[in-house]
């Protein structure tokens, strides 16, 4: 799992400082003949142009850092796996959460899936997008819904007793859905992830080891 480096968040202080400088508009006083008083008027300056350029430059640096990282991640995934499974997230709706919007935007989830998708097509790999509903709430062992808040990082199923990391549980559910959509696509051998599924033991009767790839990866939304 790749952690979100949050380039925008890390650059916020620098951006804020430069934007404050930019907002300080130089003024000059002049005599208003019509109203018989002095009035302050805005005037342009080389400093203002310079500050605007600095703000733009910082935004560009953040964008380039993020794009470079996403290219590296997508290249790594394509070289390592035959099947890559993403949650089909509705980013626009997620951005309505004002508490998480900045982190979600900074993760550039849509850009990552776009990079992986076009590189997968060129390399002959398979990318699947699955319904994200209840991937975290559903028990990957027994299939029961176990409600938990975002702050709960451990999945504890009261029905079958399964205890595991919340993200690992969700990842197995995402993989299962991706495998269901990709049946018959790949020649398969045992893999680390498939062994993980095998150990969980639920719902594997419908999956035959030889039907899926030895190289499979699941991708949840980045941790915020």
CA-based nearest residue to 126, from 176, 181, 87: 181
pLDDT (tens digit per residue) in 19-43: 665 565 444 455 555 555 555 545 5
Please give the Cα distance from 133 to 173 (Å, whole number).
10
pLDDT (tens digit per residue) in 124-162: 998 999 999 999 999 999 999 999 998 899 999 999 999
Number of structural domains (the chain) is 1
User: In terms of residue numbers, what domain contains 55?
Assistant: 7-20+47-132+142-219
How many residues belong to the chain?
Answer: 224
Pairwise pLDDT comparison (192 vs 15), residue with the higher score: 15
Please check whether residue 33 lies inside any domain of the structure: no
The answer to whether the predicted template modeling score (pTM) of the entire model surpasses 0.75 is no
Pair 97, 224: CB distance under 8 Å: no
Please check whether residue 41 lies inside any domain of the structure: no
Please check whether residue 35 lies inside any domain of the structure: no
């Amino acid at each position: 799992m790749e952690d979100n480096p949050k380039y925008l968040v890390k650059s916020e202080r620098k951006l804020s400082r430069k934007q404050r400088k930019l907002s300080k508009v130089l003024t000059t006083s002049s005599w208003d003949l019509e109203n018989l008083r002095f009035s302050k008027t805005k005037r342009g300056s080389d400093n203002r142009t310079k500050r605007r350029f600095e703000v733009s430059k910082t935004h560009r640096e953040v964008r380039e850092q993020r794009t470079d990282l996403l290219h590296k991640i997508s290249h790594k995934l394509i070289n390592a796996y035959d099947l890559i499974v993403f949650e089909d997230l509705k980013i626009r709706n997620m951005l309505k959460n004002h508490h998480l919007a900045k982190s979600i935007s900074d993760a550039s989830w849509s850009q990552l899936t776009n990079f992986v998708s076009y590189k997968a097509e060129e390399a002959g790999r398979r990318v699947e997008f699955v319904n994200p509903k209840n991937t975290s709430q559903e028990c990957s062992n027994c299939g029961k819904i176990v409600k938990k808040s975002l702050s709960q990082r451990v999945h504890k199923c009261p029905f079958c007793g399964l205890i595991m990391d919340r993200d690992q549980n969700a990842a197995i559910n995402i993989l299962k859905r991706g495998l269901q959509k990709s049946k018959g696509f790949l020649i398969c051998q045992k893999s680390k992830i498939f062994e993980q599924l095998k150990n969980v033991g639920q719902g594997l009767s419908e999956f035959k080891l030889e039907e899926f790839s030895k190289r499979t990866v699941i991708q949840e939304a980045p941790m915020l």
